Amino acid sequence: MKPVVELVDVWVELGGHTVLEAITMRVEEGEFVSVVGPNGAGKTTLLKVILGLVAPQRGEVRVFGRPPRDLGRDRARIGYVPQAEEIDLRFPLRVIDVVLMGRYGILGLGRRPRREDRRAALEALELVGIRELAGKLIGELSGGQRQRAFLARALAAKPKLLLLDEPTTGVDPAASESFYELLRKIQEKDVTVLMVTHDVGVVSRYVDKVACINRRLVVHGRPEEVVTSEALAEMYGCAALFFHHGRIPHMVVRPHT
């Protein structure tokens, strides 16, 4: 497999502070990879580096074999679900209109959506399981439904790389698991998925690889090799262990005394 994303010795400083330190990692074509780490570890910055929104001080970044700034129209091959949506839920915006925003990278600013754009938006809503909500106002949806609408927006341009930043924040556990299962189905459609999350115990059941970072890359590999008490203790800087309750593994961290 060839890498869709490749970072080599990437360093990022923001506001005089080192946010990412000597990050080297690859995301192969067709993989589902989760990036986990404590708050302030640089996870969101890593996604912004891949998107070309933050330039590293050192190192190389390649997406589809090219630096992000050189992607041009191929930038539409990347779908992005940011951590926090700034849509005013009181604004009378329909779900279909939100999803159509995902076509603007193909359309160009100022151009009205065509019939094929509407068809692509409806197909994306069908894929995420909420086509029947297309005419609803975005503010009328539940948290889980709203997150699926934002995922549909990212899928409307039929991307080959999907980036997600904490997509299940504020969503109940059952809806979170359903969302991860949906991402597996999307991956099966030849989409490479890279997701930032805190749900290390739950998500390890769905992903191919886990990358643990805390400014630097602590460990990167298959979940059964990576999600260990030793690796998590190094990443979080405190003792960590897993226990199982039902189908879901839970992590407990204990600060050093």
Q: Break the chain into its structural domains and give their ranges.
A: 73-159
CATH topology of domain 73-159: Rossmann fold (3.40.50)
Residue 94: its pLDDT value, please?
95
The 3-state DSSP class for residue 25 equals strand
Distance (Å, whole) CA 222 – CA 227: 8
Distance (Å, whole) CA 185 – CA 121: 18
Name the strand (E) or helix (H) holding 3: strand 3-14
Distance (Å, whole) CA 158 – CA 149: 15
Helix crossing, 143-155 with 115-127: angle to 10°?
130
Segment 158-172 shows an average pLDDT of: 90
pLDDT digit string, tens, across residues 197-236: 887 777 888 999 999 899 999 888 898 887 765 666 666 6
Segment 185-195 shows an average pLDDT of: 95
Q: In what order do the strands lie in the sheet with 216-221?
A: 78-81, 161-165, 192-196, 32-36, 209-214, 216-221
Beta partners for residue 90, in sequence order: none
pTM for the model? 0.86
Q: Is the model's pLDDT at 110 over the cut of 90?
A: no
User: In whole numbers, what is the pLDDT of the chain averaged over residues?
Assistant: 86
Distance (Å, whole) CA 68 – CA 70: 5
Q: Which two tokens stand for residue 161?
A: 């790389």
Residue 239: its pLDDT value, please?
46
Q: Is the model's pLDDT at 40 over the cut of 60?
A: yes
Segment 118-147 shows an average pLDDT of: 93
Whether 92 and 63 have beta carbons less than 8 Å apart is answered as no
Lowest mean pLDDT of 24-33, 115-124, 137-146, 168-177, name the range.
168-177
Q: Which two tokens stand for residue 187?
A: 């991956």
pLDDT tier at 91, thresholds 50, 70, 90: confident
What is the amino acid identity at position 13? Answer: E
